[in-house]
Chain A
């Protein structure tokens, strides 16, 4: 029916790459991402206590702070890592498998641009307790931006004619001309410095994650491996 060996190689490479990049991301997050997030949460909780005092309704399960929370964050990071690695692998399988990990880095950079940089230009990484537009609107804008950026980048890189390349560049710019959904009033429980610190930390952590993911896929999924 289809080439099972190719498929198995792709899956194995994605599992290992996602696992390792997810663990690396979890470690990098401990430097600044998580500490900033936890600090912001204190502000968010204080704000919530002062506004909705008696609303201790039915609370959904959430991991306890400490090792349990870190464990679930690592699990989420690894799942995202494997998910993204499968997408990188699919594109590598279509475009031709990489020669080495350096070629994988380029795919990682493309993933970073598509899935992190482009959507973050309109919807920057936010700490908990920040007002934002409707979740569904933001998710739609995020998805459109990602699809559009991915398509635009591939035209820019692989299209044969200048017209198509130009069309690719237009696609890259398009979601930012139709601006991202914004809340009616911007406000945040946490101070501005904390929000800024979170953005910088996320930009760095995601860069490390994507370059590692691309490089690892380049290594594990290279030709004749």
Chain B
């Protein structure tokens, strides 16, 4: 009689952990990689990086020097 809520609970936990594994974690990892790339190419103030990406930054309208 009291097993139904427990079953429901288990099912919900499973759905939640699947959402975490299938959506939230891959999305978080991908966006961290993306932000690292955008920072390096678009915002880093290390001079050679800035000079190499200079025209790309101006074109993308990133605040540049």
Interface residues of A (CB under 8 A from B): 1-3, 6-7, 10-11, 14, 25, 29, 33-34, 37, 60-63, 69, 72-73, 75-77, 79-80, 82-87, 89-91, 93-94, 115-116, 119-120, 123-128, 132, 135, 138-139, 142, 198, 202, 205-206
Contact = CB atoms under 8 A, between A and B. Distances in A.
Contacts of B15: none
Given A7-B30, A79-B40, A139-B43, A60 B51 contact: yes
A57 B55 CA distance: 23
A10 B24 CA distance: 13
Given A11-B30, A86-B31, A94 B24 contact: yes
Contact of B56 (A3, A76, A85, A126): A76
Given A63-B51, A77-B56, A86 B30 contact: yes
A69 B54 CA distance: 9
Contacts of B34: 14, 82-87, 89-90
A6 B65 contact: no
Contacts of A206: 59-61
B48 A76 contact: no
A205 B60 CA distance: 9
Contacts of A82: 34, 37
Given A10-B26, A69-B55, A123 B41 contact: no
Contacts of B61: 116, 119-120, 123-126, 202, 206
Main secondary structure of the interface of A (DSSP, over half): helix
Contacts of A61: 47-48, 51
Interface residue tally on B, bucketed by range: 35 or more
Contacts of A115: 60
Residue among A75, A87, A127 with the most chain B CB within 10 A? A87
Nearest to B29: A7
B46 to A, nearest CB: 9
Nearest to B42: A80
B20 to A, nearest CB: 8
Residue among B22, B27, B54 with the most chain A CB within 10 A? B27
Contact of B63 (A34, A139, A198): A139
A128 to B, nearest CB: 7
Interface in B8-45: 20-31, 33-38, 40-43
B38 A80 contact: yes
A83 B41 contact: yes
